[in-house]
Structure 1
Amino acid sequence: MKWTFPNLRLFLSLAVITGGIYPLAVTLISLIFFPHQAHGSLIRNERGEIIASELIAQPFTSAKYFWPRPSAGGYATMPSAASNLSWTSGKLVRVVAERKTALLKAHNLPETTPVPEDMLFASGSGLEPFISPEAAEFQLNRVAAARGVPLEKIRELVAEHFVRGGILGENVINVMTLNAALDTLFPMSGM
């Protein structure tokens, strides 16, 4: 009994500090200094409606949009994950071959056309909102043709959504913000 009450007081004190005060302090600091990120990095359309988050990909399949990386989990946030197939997996080889065939067909390209790797392999989380500049370039003609917009205008818009990777990261394009900008700048009638 001698140690029970001091231990209980210590437990309750730490529970209040680590379970209440600390999370509240971090939340308040993030809301003050990083309000956009603290609210989920949400993307809104011209009417102010939430359409997406900059941080979570969605399954775009229409020719008028840039497509994100494939997702092993179907872009579901619960549970999100990779396929965990090894490089020697026959299933992975088949899935990648199917993706390549589908991409080449969707873009009306010959079988010998190289396809950017990030368009063939799913990301580790299955929710990756970024593609490589090569993957964006691969899709330019399709998006421009589907929207009836000159290729150079789409290329300029892609350049505006270019994100430098810094010292250790790779240069990428955020598909979510790019597609939102496409709908704002080049809306398609009847859609």
Structure 2
Amino acid sequence: MTKSMKILRPAIMCFLVMTIVCGVIYTAAVTGIAQLIFPGQANGSIITVTLKDGTQKDYGSALIAQEFTSAEYMIGRPMGTTNLSPVSEEQKALVDERTDWLHTLDPDNTADIPMVLVTASGSGVDPNITPDAAEYQVARLARERGVSGDDVRAIISKYTTDRFLGIFGEPAVNVLKVNLALDGLL
């Protein structure tokens, strides 16, 4: 065996052992534990609905936003991320564009638009909005759906989560779940 092979052999063996331990065994163990303890979350928190004909349909993840643009649906945060400064002209133009769109969608609503409806989240796929952003949309949803505002608020309340352990984070309304409930699917 040559001198260079003697030097390379331990490095190659270490690489192979670490690949098997970290890339195969560890990954399989973590995946297996996640599937055992948290199967819904490990599989993407998919919202599956049983339809009237008995078939099941997947509507998306409760953890990833979907874009809704019709007046009869609750509108979530803008999709896509931005690293623009909050005071930049480009950010102001995006906010103004989204504000104009919301006024076009609901011209009767003269309330202040909650900031969460005109600014993207850090991930760009936040599935939740704040309770005040949901309340901003109640009158439009009730009008478009032909139901009372109290009916819409009851659905929003059902799909609003409180702070984690009562102290961490903020209350959040899951837009997809509210829209599926408004459609009578949840």
The AA in structure 2 aligned to 1:58 is: Q
User: 2:50 matched to which residue of 1?
Assistant: 46
Alignment of 1:117-132 (within 5 A): 117-132=115-130
Instruction: Please say which structure displays the higher CA radius of gyration.
Output: 2
The AA in structure 1 aligned to 2:77 is: R
Indicate if the aligned counterparts of 2:49 and 2:185 stay in contact, CA closer than 8 A: no
Rate the CA distance shift 1:30–1:2 in 2: closer, same or farther, 3 A: same
Normalising by structure 1, we get a TM-score of 0.86
Which shows bigger deviation, 173-182 or 33-42? 173-182
Indicate if the aligned counterparts of 1:140 and 1:154 stay in contact, CA closer than 8 A: yes
Alignment of 1:132-171 (within 5 A): 132-166=130-164, 167-171=167-171
Alignment of 1:51-90 (within 5 A): 51-71=59-79, 73=80, 82-90=81-89
Which shows bigger deviation, 97-106 or 20-29? 97-106
Residue 14 of structure 1, aligned match among 8, 18, 21: 18
Rate the CA distance shift 1:152–1:29 in 2: closer, same or farther, 3 A: same
The AA in structure 2 aligned to 1:121 is: T
The AA in structure 1 aligned to 2:26 is: Y
User: 2:105 matched to which residue of 1?
Assistant: 106
SS of 1:85's equivalent? Answer: coil
For 2:162 and 2:109, how far apart are their aligned partners in 1? 31
Ranges in structure 2 where 5+ consecutive residues have no aligned partner: none
The AA in structure 2 aligned to 1:143 is: L
For 2:131 and 2:101, how far apart are their aligned partners in 1? 20
Indicate if the aligned counterparts of 2:71 and 2:140 stay in contact, CA closer than 8 A: yes
Structure with higher RCO (Cα < 8 A, 6+ apart):
1
Which shows bigger deviation, 86-95 or 149-158? 86-95
SS of 1:57's equivalent? Answer: coil
Corresponding pairs, count? 176
Identity %: 39
For 1:149 and 1:164, how far apart are their aligned partners in 2? 26
The AA in structure 1 aligned to 2:135 is: E
Summarize deviations over 1:26-85 as a string: whole Å, max 9, x none: 1111111111111110012233111111011111011111111012x3xxxxxxxx2211
User: 2:39 matched to which residue of 1?
Assistant: 35
Rate the CA distance shift 1:58–1:185 in 2: closer, same or farther, 3 A: closer
Aligned Cα RMSD in Å?
1.7
Deviation at 1:87, TM superposition (A): 2.2
Normalising by structure 2, we get a TM-score of 0.88
Runs of 4+ in 1 over 6 A off after TM superposition: none
